[in-house]
């Protein structure tokens, strides 16, 4: 190990050659963060300010623009399910690089207004599939080389790509949209490809593949409740993670620039949320932290239902942002607790939980598009979504009480 960087290097037997492999953990973590930033951050967060702009510039109706957001979340579900099988057939690093390129191309392919809606819907689905696979594989591609004592921190830093992308999207996208919606599509695609190029050689030289062994099943009733709980939380998070800008820009009539400004506030919450939740877990424990997180998300959604003032929107955006990444870390720790410390059980349980969460996201997104189609462009579809999200959070809280018993 190099003396100048005692903590930045780790050794592990190469899966292919059974020889020591030397990597810089910080650089490899940055690669995983970049992949998540592209696959989930840009593919989802950058589209949030773009969604109302597509309607304002008459590219699509409000319902169709919402369907494009839903297509990404539906694709994410598919990606979460196929990630592990892909990793058993192909080198993980090659998969990640290919899918990052695909996300960039998906934005470049949508820069022409004259193309049919099906074309846009298909490419948004492709970007969602890529994001689901990246989420499933990027972290493990690095964690296999990281000492156990540092894995929790590395996991949080990998997810930080989502938080960073939210702030960037809220701050930059209004300026790109002012130049032209087509320009915004191209800029996002170019950014994704640039990040792909920068991180190309930062991945571990031979990322470990997923094992073929069948993991022992966790305690089924408890695990089933956990899957349902994590899926319900997704329904509570999607309203603001995906539709906050569109709600403020179109439903409240304040425009993309104002909506994006609140999205920056949401992103600031996402940046500091993980640290708050980590500190809370150490002080009051995992279960109490999880329930507190439920309460915070419920309050954020409730505030949107009682007022649309600038102060209330700002507070609600910040509170909701705290949980978009922070709560995921808490659920990850909870899944480790349920698995009893068995790594094989934990991989199986967390994979199913991720799929359940993706189902919740897809239901919320397609449900919103359905409501807009029924109620009309100004039919108060988003308040109904906020109510559904708040109810889902309450149910998730109740399930936690059942799981304790």
Write down all domains in the chain, each with its CATH number in brackets: 1-212 (1.20.1250.20), 216-405 (1.20.1250.20)
Instruction: Give the mean model confidence (pLDDT) for residues 318-328.
Output: 88
Tell me the pLDDT tens digit for each residue of 143-179.
Answer: 667 666 676 677 777 778 888 889 988 888 889 998 9
- Of 49-53, 63-67, 190-194, 330-334, the range with the lowest mean pLDDT is 330-334
E strand or H helix at 228: helix 220-246
Q: How many whole angstroms separate alpha carbon 230 and alpha carbon 236?
A: 10
Per-residue CA distances from 253 to 108, 179, 239, 259, 288 (Å): 29, 21, 18, 9, 39
The percent of residues in the chain predicted with pLDDT above 70, rounded, is 84
Could you tell me the two tokens for 111? 């820069």
Mean per-residue pLDDT over the chain, rounded: 82
- Residue 303 — pLDDT band, cuts 50, 70, 90? very high
DSSP conformation class of 311: H
**226/296 Cα distance (integer angstroms):** 19
Note the pLDDT of residue 145. Answer: 73
d(CA 138, CA 134): 5
Looking at residue 242, its pLDDT comes to: 85
What Å distances lie between residue 247 and 49, 163, 296, 339, CA to CA? 10, 20, 20, 39
Strand, coil or helix: 204: coil
Residue 17 has pLDDT above 50, yes or no: no
Sign of the torsion angle spanned by Cα atoms 217, 221, 226, 232: positive
- Spatial CA neighbour of 276 closest among 265, 289, 267, 263: 289
Per DSSP, 149 falls in state: G
- Assign 3 to helix, strand or coil: coil
Q: Would you state the pLDDT for residue 262?
A: 93
pTM for this model (two decimals): 0.82
> Which phi and psi angles does 24 have, rounded to 5°?
-95, 115
Each residue's pLDDT tens digit, 106-151: 999 999 989 999 999 999 999 999 998 888 788 777 766 766 667 6
Sign of CA dihedral 343, 235, 65, 177: negative
Among the ranges given (80-94, 158-172, 202-216, 372-386), the one the predictor scored with the smallest mean pLDDT: 202-216
H-helix or E-strand containing 161? helix 151-179
CB neighbours of residue 131 within 10 Å: 28
C-alpha distances (whole Å) from 350 to each of 140, 151, 369 are 12, 15, 29
CA atoms of 342 and 334, how far apart (whole Å):
13
- Radius of gyration of the chain from Cα atoms? 20
364-396 per-position pLDDT tens digit: 888 887 887 777 655 577 888 899 999 999 999
């Amino acid at each position: 190990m190099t003396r100048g960087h005692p903590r930045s290097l780790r050794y592990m037997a190469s899966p292919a050659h059974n020889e020591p492999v030397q990597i810089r953990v910080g650089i490899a973590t940055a690669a995983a963060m970049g992949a998540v930033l592209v696959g989930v951050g840009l593919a989802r967060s950058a589209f949030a300010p773009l969604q109302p702009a597509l309607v304002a510039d008459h590219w699509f109706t409000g319902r169709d623009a919402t369907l494009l957001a839903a297509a990404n979340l539906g694709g994410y579900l598919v990606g979460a399910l196929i990630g592990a099988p892909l990793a058993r057939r192909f080198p993980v690093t090659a998969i990640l690089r290919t899918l990052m390129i695909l996300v960039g191309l998906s934005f470049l392919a949508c820069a022409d207004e004259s193309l049919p809606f099906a074309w846009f819907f298909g490419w948004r689905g492709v970007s969602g599939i890529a994001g689901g696979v990246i989420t499933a594989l990027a972290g493990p591609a690095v964690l296999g080389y990281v000492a156990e004592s540092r894995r929790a921190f590395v996991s949080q830093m990998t997810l930080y790509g989502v938080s960073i992308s939210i702030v960037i999207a809220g701050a930059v996208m209004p300026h790109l949209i002012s130049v032209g919606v087509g320009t915004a599509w191209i800029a996002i695609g170019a950014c994704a490809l640039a990040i792909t190029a920068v991180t190309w050689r930062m991945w571990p030289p031979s990322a470990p593949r997923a094992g073929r062994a069948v993991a022992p099943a966790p305690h089924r009733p408890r695990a089933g409740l956990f899957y349902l709980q994590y899926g319900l939380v997704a329904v509570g998070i999607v309203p603001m993670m995906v539709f906050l800008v569109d709600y403020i820009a179109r439903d409240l009539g304040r425009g993309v620039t104002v909506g994006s400004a609140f999205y920056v506030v949401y992103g600031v919450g996402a940046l500091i949320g993980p640290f708050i939740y980590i500190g809370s877990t150490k002080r009051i424990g995992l279960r109490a932290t999880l329930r507190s997180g439920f309460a915070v998300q419920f309050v954020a959604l409730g505030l949107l239902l009682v007022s649309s003032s600038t102060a209330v929107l700002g507070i609600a955006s910040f509170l909701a942002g705290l949980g978009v990444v922070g709560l995921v870390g808490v659920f990850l720790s909870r899944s480790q607790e349920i698995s009893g410390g068995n790594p094989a059980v934990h991989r199986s349980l967390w994979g199913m939980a991720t799929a359940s969460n993706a189902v919740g996201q897809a239901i919320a997104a397609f449900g919103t598009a359905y409501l807009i189609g029924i109620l009309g462009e100004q039919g108060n579809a988003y308040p109904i979504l906020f109510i559904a999200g708040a109810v889902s959070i309450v149910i998730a809280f109740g399930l936690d009480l059942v799981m304790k018993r």
